[in-house]
Amino acid sequence: MKPLYEQLQDKCRSLRLAESAKELPRLLREAESKGWTYHELMHEFLSYEVLCREKKSMEKLMKWAEFPELLTLANFRLEEQTAIGSKQLNVLKELTWIEECFTLIMMGPTGVGKTHLSTALGIHAIENGYQVSFISMDRLIYVLKTKEYTAKSKTRYKRIVKSDLIIIDDVMYMAYEPQEAHLFFQFIYELYDQAAFILTSNKGPGEWGKFLGDPTLTTAILDRLLHRSEILTFSEEQDSIRMKYRQTLFTTTGVES
């Protein structure tokens, strides 16, 4: 006959408590050595299971988000840009704007920190239990065009529309065909009041019409996106952070044979 702790492990596994089943022998030994009460043992056992499930859930959400890089708020250089101050950043960290389905539009030239801040807020949201999707505008259009035909696009689309926060990078980076513009409008229309957005762009909303090619459609999109919104403008005079901290292979500038 199996020892009692192995029988308990089997019961844990049958209840889908696999991680706790592995940890059970250690918990029992610690309970005996420290003289835990039954309440304390149950508390430690269930706390461990909750911790494992939270970790697995976060790993799954991070995978689904598809961030281009793991850029966090801890290494966001707040002092090197003027788009946002510490008080505003603290407000964003509270994440109430996600519950209220706000749109954050981050405007500015390449390399000034738009993608870093948007990614960092996305990771912060996942750490607090929200589902997040990060996707470039071009990739989003591709997914919208192919979701009925390819399994990969269908899966990605389902994850995006179930997200609490959708980050769209490089919005209006290029001109779009009428069909593509209509698909983008339909996407925004369906998720209006259902999700929060972060949009990064090097063009202001006033310029979006010439990229979508339809002023009426652009107005309808902006009407929904700007209903509850904040626009963060990264200075045109700000130097590219990527170039400021670029890495090099060679320590000297001269050419040597």
Question: Tens digits of per-residue pLDDT, 161-215?
Answer: 999 999 999 888 777 788 888 898 899 999 999 999 999 988 877 777 777 777 8
Residue 177: its pLDDT value, please?
85
What number is the average pLDDT over the span 128-147? 94
Task: Identify the residue with better confidence: 160 or 180.
Answer: 160
In the predicted model, what is the mean pLDDT of residues 56-75? 90
Whether 248 shows a pLDDT value over 70: the answer reads no
Average pLDDT over residues 153-166: 96
pLDDT > 80? residue 111: no
Q: What is the pLDDT of residue 153?
A: 95
Comparing 157 with 6, which gets the higher pLDDT? Answer: 157
Q: For the whole model, what pTM was predicted?
A: 0.79
Lowest mean per-residue pLDDT among 25-39, 86-100, 117-131, 215-229: 215-229
pLDDT at position 194, please? 93
Q: Would you state the pLDDT for residue 164?
A: 97
Query: Average per-residue pLDDT in the chain?
Result: 84
Residue-wise DSSP of the chain: ---HHHHHHHHHHHTT-HHHHHHHHHHHHHHHHHT--HHHHHHHHHHHHHHHHHHHHHHHHHHHHT-SS---GGG--GGG-SS--HHHHHHHHH-HHHHTT-EEEEE--TTSSHHHHHHHHHHHHHHTT--EEEEEHHHHHHHHHHTTT-HHHHHHHHHHHT-SEEEEESTTSS---HHHHHHHHHHHHHHTTT-EEEEEESS-GGGHHHHHT-HHHHHHHHHHHSSSEEEEE--TTSPPHHHHT---S-S-SS---
Q: Is residue 227 scored above 60 in pLDDT? A: yes
Percent of the chain with pLDDT over 70: 91
pLDDT for the residue 238: 47
Q: What is the pLDDT of residue 257?
A: 47
Give residue 237's pLDDT. 52
pLDDT winner (highest mean) among 135-144, 165-174, 204-213, 239-248? 135-144
Pairwise pLDDT comparison (86 vs 2), residue with the higher score:
86
Domains for the chain: give ranges and CATH numbers: 4-58 (no CATH), 73-244 (3.40.50.300)
What is the per-residue pLDDT for 121? 96
Does residue 131 surpass a pLDDT of 90? yes
- Among the residue ranges 19-33, 101-115, 193-207, 210-224, the one predicted with the least confidence is 210-224
